[in-house]
Structure 1
């Protein structure tokens, strides 16, 4: 005997209601694991992702963070892109987490980010967020080619030459979009430095693929045509293919054709380091290119926006760098030296202050793997929450490089100032980033004057973006 259609429909509706209720109950119970901080998990799966991504047209802390810090304190729970998350602006807790790298926590990002940069890629036996010996060896390789010893050699002067060439080209144009042109400059430089890639003569505009990849890093991991994540996967594959071709060329080249760069070094280490594979090297190089592509241009454009708005700071910066050039001429040095770079404290204060106000990533992310009671949860150490803390930085939204003269660095760095992470896994490219910004500013402010054409609006999405670009002439 057949059930009437109405009864079948009512039965299905009841099952759906029960399933949804069970799903929500399970989701809410998930938030009670361990001694979690207060907060809201939002809707099942979506969580509070929509609120997290609402753009904020301000240099200030994004409303998502600011409202919850005010309501729950500097430590709160939430759910982003399907993941349970604890967000922290607490300096002591952040320092503790950073020191637990490889013990109670591991480097981690949300699903889309992890899949795009090799933290959660099925065909990689060793992940790009590996700890212990693997991380130490990779750090050694990076520092060997981009660290302070290389900067003391020829690297600082190479940065100077690239900057002079780039700015000379800018001066011939009606106006330039600083963020776009800086990103292009950085890619040309770092791709040449790391793997001998000649961006000038490649005939391909791979910088657009980096922009697309960046747009998908914090998106929902939905691989459907038209979504940011789908577009990012397409761009990721193009970039990986470019790097694969360079690796294949280098591995097929005769021994006497060695360039002595990062790629040669890491390929040579494949003979003695079992964790190194061509797939792993491909992802590592992509991650290095991506990191420099975003961090340095964002800091440079932020510095130029702030200097444009603060002429007194600009004049102080010009004065220090003109004195440095005068001393260079007296010494007979042909280009910038390590000693000169380190003898410009105000310039470095400008860089530090620009990094602080930029806070260009949502935060430093770790995942609890043991001991910490939130096993499996992602922990976001909020950069902007620390960098704009009014208890540490008087008038935190003001651009005031001089504040660094009296700063208690032992207390601030690593607790309230983490542009390069910290603990057991600080960014190996930190000194390279600071040096590139400092050299660029020296050439720019001593040889050129500029006026703003348009743009320059700061938007946090939660990545820092420049609304309308920043066009100058």
Structure 2
């Protein structure tokens, strides 16, 4: 009882101190309207609950109705200013790094590591970005098409062997994780990939959680999972470093070898910590968001017969036009999947894989007539423009044709599933190729239907079919 009393008194004192601090700040600064909620916790619980129920837009609308398109709150342990709309997107995504840095919430920083590419600035950011982009640009991706196609085909056959029903979400997560592990990082051992997959699943859940490091919490489990990931990868780095030194491995072999070969402005190699942090970050960014889009594509193709027929026709036409004995996808064939990609684009407009993202102010700044103090977070959201009828006609209707040479061009910073400006996702082309290659194999090899046709989408915190999207699947009969 004494312990409980101490906790209660501590919380009360913290709450009173919080109120006094805020009152003083309001007197000194012109902060936007809104509520910072309870100390540390803020409005995190209500925000995450709204996401889980797929009510994120409603959560925003309740606050914008009271305070306008700029309001304050407290999320993931930090005071936050939320900006809604095209101008807000441009303000955040187009800002210089010395004003708004891609500093992430405590949870993401702890799981990814403090030297991940989203946290880096200046010359160190450019150095790491160049190394990563070298494997993600179109010229490099052309070399991976056949390998990716073979890996996807093999995995789909194995996951569906002797089964008439599979969990599509889990299958897509495994598939995209193995693609990233094998192609980007050269991790070929299946046992190693399986262990890493389990730990990354725990680590990702911790990214959007409260930073409470107590046994049993999501955050605590995520930190322990990251530690196990590090223990698994350090021997891989040691082996790759030795192979580079002996000339058995090229700096262009995979992302690990590229990062190991990096030299900073003093011609010193970058640290293992930096390599590890960016490995974790790239794995989280590259496999989960693609798995989301693929799951949504399977879900959409299951529920919309007209869209499905058009996608199937496009993919079958690609096979029918092949000449000779070639039975693997080519870069040229990927470029012909225009309709399939517009379906993916429209899905990302209506159900963006990333609801929004954080930046952190490195100095006092202003936006929309309000002060944003140094150290606060700024949060942008895709919803404010993706569902804006002034930008997209009839935004609640699913219409892939809006991305086909529309007579009404989409303005900058309005369609942002991959971010924008200085912080456009470096893996957007890799994701496009991965998604199109997977859908090609799925629709040409299999037929499927949903086990639960009324299955809804919920954010956990990313948007997934609420029941894991079990599907009845069978080989396609030619």
Q: Which residue of 1 aligns with 2:350?
A: 357
TM-score, normalised via structure 2 length: 0.87
SS in 2 for 1:38: coil
SS in 1 for 2:388: coil
**Could you list the per-position Cα deviations for residues 405-432 of structure 1 after superposition, in whole angstroms to 9, with x for gaps in the alignment?**
25468534x4221111111121110000
| Aligned-partner Cα distance in 1 for 2:51–2:340 | 29
Instruction: Give 1:181's match in structure 2, choosing from 171, 189, 193.
Output: 171
Describe how 1:439-458 pairs up with structure 2 within 5 A. Answer: 439-454=437-452, 456-458=455-457
Offset of residue 450 of structure 1: 0.5
SS in 2 for 1:79: strand
SS in 1 for 2:16: helix
SS in 1 for 2:466: strand
Offset of residue 19 of structure 1: 7.1
Q: Is the 8 A contact 1:62 1:462 kept in 2?
A: no
| Aligned-partner Cα distance in 1 for 2:198–2:351 | 22
Offset of residue 326 of structure 1: 2.3
Which deviates the most, 358-367 or 175-184?
A: 358-367
Q: Which residue of 2 aligns with 1:257?
A: 248
**Could you list the per-position Cα deviations for residues 74-125 of structure 1 after superposition, in whole angstroms to 9, with x for gaps in the alignment?**
2211111321101122211211221113131100222111221113xxxx6x
Q: Which residue of 2 aligns with 1:433?
A: 431
TM-score, normalised via structure 1 length: 0.88
Q: Which residue of 2 aligns with 1:3?
A: none
| Aligned-partner Cα distance in 2 for 1:305–1:419 | 19
Q: Which residue of 1 aligns with 2:416?
A: 418
Instruction: Give 1:322's match in structure 2, choosing from 316, 327, 347.
Output: 316
Instruction: Give 2:273's match in structure 1, choosing from 279, 282, 290.
Output: 279
| Aligned-partner Cα distance in 1 for 2:240–2:294 | 33
| Aligned-partner Cα distance in 2 for 1:136–1:288 | 16
| Aligned-partner Cα distance in 1 for 2:449–2:117 | 46
Describe how 1:17-416 pairs up with structure 2 within 5 A. Answer: 20-30=15-25, 34-56=29-51, 61-119=56-114, 129-152=119-142, 154-172=143-161, 173-202=163-192, 204-253=194-243, 255-258=246-249, 260-270=253-263, 273-274=267-268, 276-327=270-321, 329-330=322-323, 334-370=327-363, 372-373=365-366, 374=372, 375-407=374-406, 411-412=410-411, 414-416=412-414
Q: Residues 422 and 175 (structure 1 numbering): CA distance in 2 closer, same or farther, change over 3 Å? A: same
SS in 2 for 1:130: coil
Q: Is the 8 A contact 2:169 2:464 kept in 1?
A: no
Q: Is the 8 A contact 2:103 2:118 kept in 1?
A: no
| Aligned-partner Cα distance in 1 for 2:128–2:193 | 31
Q: Residues 440 and 28 (structure 1 numbering): CA distance in 2 closer, same or farther, change over 3 Å? A: farther
Offset of residue 275 of structure 1: 6.8
SS in 2 for 1:25: helix
Question: Any stretches of 5+ residues in structure 1 without a counterpart?
Answer: 1-12
| Aligned-partner Cα distance in 2 for 1:32–1:303 | 50
Q: Residues 273 and 127 (structure 1 numbering): CA distance in 2 closer, same or farther, change over 3 Å? A: farther
Q: Is the 8 A contact 2:52 2:461 kept in 1?
A: no
